[in-house]
Each structure stands twice: as C-alpha cells, then as structure tokens.
Chain A
Amino acid sequence: MKFHGGTCENIYGELLDYEIIQHENNLSTECRLERRTVHIQKWILSTIIFTYLAALIGIHKKDSSLLLFLSIILLAGVLIKAYLKVKRECVIVGNQIGLQLTTTYVIGRQTTTFISSNRIKDILINEGFVSQRLIYYLTLMINDSDKSMLPLFVKLLPRLSLLKIFYRHLYSAIHESK
C-alpha cells in the first residue's frame, strides 16, 4: 500500500491536506482532499470585532428576550454553515469497477456518487468560471446522454499544482484497464 501526501492551497488561499493512497497492489487508487475546518485567526478576530460592536450598541443592556432571539439566529446560522461546509472530498477508483466521489461535511453527513467503469469515458482538467474567476477543475467525462460531465473536487477547489498530481494518478488508474 503506497502512500503519498502533503499540503497544498485552495483557490481562496486556504490550506488543504491531500493524500494519495494506492491499495492492494495498485488495484485501487484513492485521492483524498481535506480542509482544516477552524481558522483560529479569522475566528478570534471576528469574535473580538463583533463583541466590541455589540457592546458599543449596548446589547447587554437590552432585555433578555431580544438576546434570546439573537442567540437563536446565531445558532441557526452556525448549524446551517456546518451542514453545508465541506470537510473532505475523496475520490476512489477501483480497477474495472468504477469511480466513487464521497463528500464529507463538517457535521458528519456524507454524500456519495458512484460512476461504474463502463460509463466512464475520460478524466480531464478543464477550465471554468466560478464567481467571476477562471479556475481549473478536474472533471470526469461520462457516456450518458443526459449528464456528460461530473466535476470532481468542486467544493474545495484546489489549485493547478495539486490537480496535475491527481490527474496523473487518476488517469493511469482509469485507463490502465481499458
């Protein structure tokens, strides 16, 4: 079982950890991309700023029903963010079986997409638009009539240097059986 890992950057500048694992005599390749979920500096800075602003407005002098309402809104916001924020994306390719993309969220929820190997045409690094930027992303070409592209790692969006490494491993994993 070969293991190969490191740290790379996101398109937004956040640090991501990656691991590439080859299981069982190269019968399956796994590419894992993980985000460190709590940025200590950003969290401390925003806590200090918002506490100062709240004390300036005088929220601690208002009655407790307003404070309860605000804290419920804050809690709901935190829960929604934890539900939607991606912690890890993992692509596993099995020799002649197919490709599976697993997305793990901060709360623990996991969503899985599996493409069997007869539907896979190719894997590519393509360029696309995300929020007025042109980015590189890894995408899988599928033989279906209705859905022909499956973009991988779109929630974490690593930069091109990592995509090249993933591309080399995943390309050889997909095409060695064909």
Chain B
Amino acid sequence: MPTAPSPSPRPERAVIGFFLYVTSIFTFAIYVLWAYLPNDWFEKIGITYYPHKYWSIAIAVLVLTLLIGVIVGNYLLNNLSIPPLDSISLIHDRHTRKPQDLISSETDAIPPVSDLDLSFVNQVLYSSHTK
C-alpha cells in the first residue's frame, strides 16, 4: 500500500515555515512604510524608482477580495465534488477491500481486514437479522 502524504512536521518544513514567517513580517513592514510615508522623504533619501501610490490601495483591496473569494470558492468546490445520491461510489469505490474467499476457513488464522457487505450491515442494523 503506497504511503499517503502526511502533514506531520519535518525539518525541511520547519525551515520553510520560519523563512516564510520572517519574509512576511518584513514585506508587511516595507509595504506599510511605502504606503504611509510621503513621497518627499523618499526623494531626500535617494529612492526615486518605486511604484505609484495607487497600488498601495489596489494591493490591499486585492488581498481582501482574494480572502473572500478563497473562502467562497472552497465552499463551492466542496459542493461540486460530493457524489450525487445515486452514484455507486457511495457503496463501493476504488478504496474498498473485498473479502478474499480463497483462504479457507479451516485454519485458525485471523482473516485479513476487509469491508463488510452493505446489505448484510443493513440487515443487522435495521431489521431482524435472519442469517
């Protein structure tokens, strides 16, 4: 069985996380300075090539709209990927394990883990179990 990708912490992930944390604080400080300081102060220091101040508002609006869009889009994407009520993937799909009847029941060994038949489960849960 192939290993699924797991979200557990690893050293590379810690380094990347720390780098992103420092970079995001630094970028936010630069953005606030650029947005609030008047243009003459930049001229006096010597910085003459920087983006137009219009973009300070535009970037802020873009980030907020992206946030709302991601939340709404995630909800809608989830709604699109649920199977309809008559799809067979609600009964069995590519991950279900059918019981292998090749192994005979004479040995005392524990049979391998497999999924129970759904009609059997229904009979046990919801009606008088007749088997």
Contact = CB atoms under 8 A, between A and B. Distances in A.
Interface stretch (B33-41, B45-53, B119-127): B119-127
Nearest to A135: B85
Contact of A129 (B82, B125, B126, B127): B82
Interface residues of A, number: 23
B119 A149 contact: no
Contacts of A163: 126
Q: SS class of chain A's interface: helix, strand, loop or mixed?
A: strand
A167 B122 contact: yes
B22 interface: no
A139 to B, nearest CB: 7
Interface size class of B (residues with CB under 8 A): 10 to 19
A128 B85 contact: yes
Contacts, number: 49
A125 B126 contact: yes
B126 A164 contact: yes
B86 interface: yes
A151 interface: yes
A130 interface: yes
A126 to B, nearest CB: 6
A151 B86 contact: yes
A18 interface: no
A168 B79 CA distance: 33
Nearest to B87: A149
Contacts of B83: 128-129
Contacts of A147: 86
Contacts of B122: 124-125, 167
Given A126-B91, A128-B90, A137 B85 contact: yes
Interface of B: 78-79, 82-88, 90-91, 118-119, 122-123, 125-128
Please name the 9 residue pairs, one residue from A and one from B, whose CB atoms are nearest each other, closest first: A129-B82, A128-B85, A151-B85, A149-B86, A168-B127, A164-B126, A122-B119, A124-B122, A167-B126
